[in-house]
Structure 1
Amino acid sequence: MKQDVKNKVGLGGLTGLIIGGTIGSGVFTLPATLTAGANPEGILIDWAIVAVGMFSLAGVYRNLTLQQPDIDDGIYGWSKRLFGDLGGFIANYGHGIGDAVGNASYLTVMFSAFGGFSIFAFFGSGTTWPAVIAASILLWIITALVMRGIHTSTGMNNITTVAKVIPIAMFIILAI
């Protein structure tokens, strides 16, 4: 049976989703934290360990998807099948809270960085009212783009993934 692949995400889009989803704000604060007490070799070893963990998690999701192709609602579906409705709800709720906390921390770090420039000093440490309002507006804009469809959200994710990978690659090159 031939599947309709017209509205599916391609390999590049899926790769961007995985990379973008595994890179959070912690990756960008990691160099400052590590350089206080580690040499470049130690930092590269730490990042290698983190990379193995990220790719392992992506592999787990890939294997679950391949082994259970009839489940198309991810963490909720896998948990529901194993643990029932309550287990699916708890897994999905926990994942949603993790996403919310991740978004809040990423935006706090981002607006804190903006606050370091005199022109954006009103953002302060990323927790001022202007920063909270700007972060909320940004999240709603992203939500609106995602709701436009899979191609719009995949394209947006690919752009942000490149923007995340460039500084990481630059740090690794400079550390070497």
Structure 2
Amino acid sequence: METTKPSSRRAAKAAAGAETEFYSPDDYRSDDSVAYLMRRLITVFASEVQQELDPRGLTNAQWVPMYKLHLGHGSTAAELARECQLDAGAMTRTLDRLEAKGLLRRVRSSQDRRVVNLELTDQGREASGHIPQALCKVLNAHLRGFSHDEVELLRSMLQRMLDNGIGCQKDRENT
């Protein structure tokens, strides 16, 4: 008689559409979890991006808001904090460091003196211009050996997981 591991049985049932729960407390192992693998991947990815951007003097905490500013995704500290999913205090500290490095400046709005806009300096624009190159280099290294179809499938599956997670958040907010 052939024995099958519980996780293999669940996977077979799920593939047949009979079950949508892939994890069970009875046999859960964090190192087999998709979330654990994604977290490890993000950690390794961030470390590699840090190595690429270190010569530019940008840390992981700094390149994201720099790049968002470069793309025009936020012009105030509050907008940038929302875009980067950071609290206002953490964003202010990051912006203080970027300003001290001469990479951005705070400029009071001429229309509303209460508003302080953020602008990249020439040095900041030059530094942020290197971010896409670093990201592409690291992403391509991580995707080495994948076909175009596999990358698209991976991207679509991750997007589905993200959509499911956002749906869970909305459901929780509505209860």
Same fold (TM over 0.5): no
How high is the TM-score relative to the length of structure 2?
Answer: 0.28
The structure whose Rg is larger is 2
How high is the TM-score relative to the length of structure 1?
Answer: 0.27
Larger relative contact order (C-alpha < 8 A, sep ≥ 6)?
Answer: 1
Q: Which has the higher helix share?
A: 1
Q: Which has the higher strand share?
A: 2
